[in-house]
Amino acid sequence: MAEPTRTLAERILAEYRENPDLQLTRWQIQQLWRLDVAECDAVLQALVLDGGFLSLGRDGAFILKSPSERKTVGGMSAAS
């Protein structure tokens, strides 16, 4: 994972960990962290597909997975 993507992913993950009930859509993530579409896609791929930290709900919001559902990938720890 590229360093800027890793840094953004870590910032977003930290926010989800501080607020475990947080539910944000792709658009909201883009707005909150001022990301363009490509940046947002890269970060979400890192957090959903590569890291397994977030999951996409039926309502289109990304939510934090429980600790037992997470995995460790690319240096980002699965521990809370």
Rounded Cα distance, 70 and 73, in Å:
10
How confident is the model over 16-67, as pLDDT tens digits? 999 999 999 999 999 999 999 999 999 999 999 888 999 999 999 999 998 7
Q: Tokens for 15?
A: 């926010």
Handedness of CA 58, 28, 23, 41 (dihedral sign): positive
Binned at pLDDT 50, 70 and 90, residue 76 comes out as: low
Per DSSP, helices labelled H in the chain are: 3-18, 26-33, 37-44
What pLDDT score does 64 carry? 96
According to CATH, the topology of domain 3-68 is: Arc Repressor Mutant, subunit A (1.10.10)
Rounded Cα distance, 57 and 22, in Å:
12
> What is the model's pTM?
0.79
User: Which of residues 21 and 76 earns the better pLDDT score?
Assistant: 21
